[in-house]
Amino acid sequence: MGLKDQAVSVRHNCAEMIQYTPESERTRLIETGLKDQDISVRLSCAQMIQYAPESEQEALKKHLAGILKMGLKDQDIYVRDYSAQMIQYASESERTELIEMGLKDQDEYVRRNCAQMIQYAPESEQKGLKEQARVLGYEFVDPHDLALQTPLYKKTPQGFLRKQFEKTGSGTTLLGGELKERVIVRSIEPQTLMSWKEAFENREFWKKKGFEIVPVEPIVGIKPSKKGIKEVHVFTRVIPGPSVAKWEEATSLWRNEIETQKKTIIEGLAELKIEHGHLHDGNFVLYFHRTPDGKADLSKPPMVYVIDFDQAVSSPSK
């Protein structure tokens, strides 16, 4: 009944719940959702294909490919844009054709989304697709490399011991030597530290929100400043990974899972009555699980952390 409800929001929520239904019912429900007139419902159902019985997944993926061929020709840019994002869920044998269709689109966002889908094409066909995309001005970064990058130390010389980081807001000092890429120092006002500590130390709160870890920039030490009561130095652990802004600019891998975590963090801070001050995508950082040899494991969604509490304040009502 829910997938036939008049309200799009109801149908969308029901589509996201398919994974929790009896396995024998999932294929039928996914097929129903893929016919929905709303593209966001179709996207949610495409994401559910992985939860269908394994023997039925390929047929669903081929069915989706047919839907996407129509979607990529739709007059509505919104439909074409969503269709491009769904290519990763279609049958692998159909992805190259779908990507090529999207790369010819007149809309920049559709072309960009299709360029990001190249990583999901058969490996033997990715080189040719990338050449087509480069002609259109797109460059490619290996997601495995990007997943291990942090932008903080890019402009620091080899062997440095301490460097002020150029940014707005608080003073941030990058440490060298053994602490390089492990710890930085943020110089902030004491009242800002109190808000940050409240968010970081509330482990049970975040656990109830569904987080295995505290999704807040970790505080590892605090030191008084020579400025007295006006400032404290906070030693914080560097999250070794890219910002959400950099990641989503380069790839759509795990985008929905990342956005869900980010939304939950924002809602959590609001519940704690903490105003971060600048919750843009540059202040959300990703940490990917590691393989035994130290590489990023892209088979699992990353953990999202909110960082840079230099403008944080607690609501007067607390």
Q: What is the tens place of the pLDDT at every residue in 248-306?
A: 888 878 988 999 999 999 999 999 999 887 889 999 999 999 999 999 999 999 999 99
With H, G, I as helix, E, B as strand and everything else as coil, classify residue 173: strand
225: closest CA among 193, 183, 258?
Answer: 193
pLDDT interval class at 167 (50, 70, 90): very low
pLDDT digits (tens, 9 = 90+) for 192-232: 889 999 999 999 999 999 999 999 999 988 888 777 677 88
Asked if 277 contacts 311 with a C-beta cutoff of 8 angstroms, the reply is yes
> Which helix (H) or strand (E) segment is 313 a member of?
strand 313-314
Q: For position 157, what pLDDT does the model report? A: 40
Share of the chain above pLDDT 90, in %: 62
CATH architecture of 2-139: Alpha Horseshoe (1.25)
Flag whether pLDDT at 187 surpasses 90.
Answer: no
Asked if 272 contacts 198 with a C-beta cutoff of 8 angstroms, the reply is yes
* Claim: this prediction has a pTM higher than 0.85: no
pLDDT interval class at 175 (50, 70, 90): very low
- Range in 42-46, 79-83, 151-155, 201-205 the model is least confident about: 151-155
SS3 of the chain: helix, strand, coil, percent, to 5: 50, 15, 35
State the residue for tokens 């990507």. 99
CA gap 197, 200 in Å, rounded? 5
Domain with CATH 1.25.10.10 in the chain: 2-139
pLDDT digits (tens, 9 = 90+) for 120-164: 999 999 999 999 999 988 877 788 889 998 765 444 343 333 334
Sign of CA dihedral 101, 42, 266, 214: negative
**DSSP-H helix ranges across the chain:** 8-16, 23-34, 39-47, 54-71, 77-85, 92-103, 108-116, 123-135, 143-146, 190-201, 203-208, 244-250, 255-271
Pairing of strands 219-225, 228-237: antiparallel
With H, G, I as helix, E, B as strand and everything else as coil, classify residue 96: helix
